[in-house]
Amino acid sequence: MTVVSAFAGMRRVADVLFRAGCPDCRARLELRANALMLAIGGSSRTTFYSFTCTECGAAVRKPAGERIVELLTGGGVRTLRLYSTL
């Protein structure tokens, strides 16, 4: 099976929406992958995701555990690695 035949008939992939909350204004948000950024550090203390609140404009940074990292990377969120893999 080729890639072309595997995706034949597929018209469009639905946008993935992530739900997040703003700690400043308490807004409940639905964000697309391009509105989020994931930073993976060498420990759980340095692994987080961030976004800008669409309601109040606050820069939000929240810790990201293993499950959150898995969901965000699987949903196409851009990722920045803060440690060397060597």
User: What confidence tens digit (pLDDT) does each residue in 47-75 have?
Assistant: 999 999 999 999 999 999 999 999 999 99
Contact between 37 and 50 under an 8 Å Cβ cutoff? The reply is yes
Residue 18 scores a pLDDT above 90: yes
Give the per-residue pLDDT at 44. 84
Give the per-residue pLDDT at 23. 97
The residue-averaged pLDDT of 33-39 equals 97
Give 84's pLDDT tier (boundaries 50, 70, 90): low
Number of H helices, E strands in the chain: 2, 6
Give the per-residue pLDDT at 11. 58
